């Protein structure tokens, strides 16, 4: 029988508990406090922490009941140790430590970003090593070379300003589409034309390709959209959303495919909340097929924050024989992506 791992995720506004047996997802419970943040236009850390405290116990109980197991059946516990909001992370780490100690089971403090990439393991086979990973979330956008998801990740490049998801959220706000912006822009864009407006692709001049091929920048795009809206009172919102989305998708994939080509690694995983974007998924499929690159994107529901991804990484750590995290540890709000576990 494969080991059962319970994963706890509280890095932002989701209190999320996942339970896996090996590669099989048994439970995936997500209690989100997003509605409490919506009127502020972004996540308020204090509200998130309090919501985690309230949601933790009931969420664990529901996950255990959904998985049709008892707490004693759990073989190991994994928890997001960072990066994220420190107060929010602390609730998860404290709960996981208590549970691990109470049950006498090993505890893995793992990296949220690596967990995003490893969730693909629940849908497809173990991510082929090595692979290039395009990690695009609300807080991070980076290109990674993953030689071993349980311990060897190299950052090839990252955003120099906003994360891709952050850009979606900001543009959604100025288009009056609400928060979180990504799903709203995705829906609005489906009604518009992606070629209506030609918005800039950041860091794609020949000089940029020579000096910072894998870095991203979305601030110029954001400014261009804002200027266009100011100067065009009768703009067509769906066209702006579609053209903005196209600019982001285009540049993310240009750089991801360039990384595959340059490293000779013909495998690409796209992960993080923005990987749920329907246009990104469609264009990625098309371009990867043409370039002979094997593409893996987790199902949309597993792209945004969840506990299953933390459990998946815990399960991979366990089967790789990686040591559990020793003793008490603190959450690390700026845990670098190269540190897969503590
Ligand atoms: O990974 P995630 O759930 O949380 C972080 O770790 O940040 O990512 C959240 C981000 C938000 O910025 C949200 O707007 C974006 O992912 N997002 C999307 C879509 N769904 C979520 N962006 C574009 N299209 C989507 N369908
Ligand atoms: Zn995330």
Run of H or E residues at 80: strand 76-82
Q: Give the Å distance between the CA of 274 and the centre of ligand 2.
A: 9
Q: Is 298 in the pocket of ligand 1 (CB under 6 A)?
A: no
Mutate to test the pocket of ligand 1, among 138, 221, 270 (most ligand atoms within 8 A of CB): 138
Q: Whose CA is closest to 216, among 262, 167, 261?
A: 167
Q: What is the DSSP letter of 83?
A: S
Phi, psi of 26 (to 5 degrees): -100, -30
Q: Is 305 in the pocket of ligand 1 (CB under 6 A)?
A: yes
For the record, the structure tokens of 286 come out as 């098309």
Q: How does pLDDT run across 295-320, given as a tens digit for each residue?
A: 999 999 999 999 999 999 999 999 99
For the record, the structure tokens of 51 come out as 């919501």
In the sheet with 152-158, reading across from the earlier edge strand, the strands are 152-158, 141-148, 131-136, 267-271, 294-296
In Å, what is the CA distance from 158 to each residue of 133, 164, 216?
12, 10, 6
Predicted confidence at residue 43, as pLDDT, reads: 87
In Å, what is the CA distance from 7 to each residue of 2, 3, 57, 218?
16, 13, 14, 32
Q: Whose CA is closest to 138, among 288, 293, 60, 32?
A: 32
Q: Give the Å distance between the CA of 163 and the centre of ligand 1.
A: 10
Domains annotated on the chain, with CATH:
4-119+303-319 (3.30.420.40), 129-297 (3.30.420.40)
- pLDDT profile of the chain (342 residues), mean per 10: 96 96 97 88 90 97 98 98 97 97 97 96 80 96 97 97 96 93 97 98 97 97 97 97 98 98 97 98 98 96 97 96 91 96 96
- pTM, entire model: 0.96
Run of H or E residues at 314: helix 308-319
Q: Is 186 in the pocket of ligand 1 (CB under 6 A)?
A: yes
């Amino acid at each position: 029988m494969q080991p059962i791992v319970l994963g706890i995720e509280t890095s932002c506004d989701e209190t999320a508990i996942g339970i896996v047996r090996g590669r099989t997802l048994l439970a995936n419970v997500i209690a989100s406090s997003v509605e409490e943040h919506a009127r502020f236009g972004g996540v308020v850390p204090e509200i998130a922490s309090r919501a985690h405290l309230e949601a933790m116990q009931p969420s664990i109980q529901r996950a255990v009941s959904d998985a049709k197991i008892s707490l004693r059946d759990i073989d190991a516990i994994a928890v997001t140790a960072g990066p994220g909001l420190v107060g929010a992370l602390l609730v998860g780490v404290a709960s996981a430590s208590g549970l691990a100690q109470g049950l006498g089971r090993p505890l893995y403090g793992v990296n949220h970003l690596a967990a995003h990439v490893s969730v693909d393991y629940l849908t497809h086979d173990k991510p082929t090593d090595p692979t290039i990973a395009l990690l695009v979330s609300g807080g991070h956008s980076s290109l990674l070379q993953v030689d071993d998801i349980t311990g060897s990740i190299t950052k090839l490049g990252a955003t120099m300003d906003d994360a891709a998801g952050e850009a979606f959220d900001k543009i959604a706000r100025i288009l009056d589409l609400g928060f979180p912006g990504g799903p709203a822009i995705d829906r609005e864009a489906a009604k518009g034309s992606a070629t209506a407006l030609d918005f800039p692709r950041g860091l794609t001049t020949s000089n940029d390709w020579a000096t910072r091929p894998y870095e991203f920048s979305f601030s110029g795009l954001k400014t261009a959209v804002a200027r266009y809206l100011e100067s065009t009172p009768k703009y067509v919102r769906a066209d702006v959303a579609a053209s903005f989305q196209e600019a982001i998708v285009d540049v993310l994939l240009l750089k991801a495919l360039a990384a595959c080509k340059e490293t000779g690694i013909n495998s690409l995983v796209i992960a993080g909340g923005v990987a749920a974007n329907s246009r990104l998924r469609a264009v990625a499929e098309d371009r990867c097929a043409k370039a002979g690159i094997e593409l893996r994107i987790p199902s949309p529901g597993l792209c945004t924050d969840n506990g299953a991804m933390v459990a998946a990484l815990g399960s991979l750590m366990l089967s790789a024989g990686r040591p559990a995290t020793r003793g008490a540890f603190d959450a690390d709000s700026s845990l670098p992506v190269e540190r897969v576990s503590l």
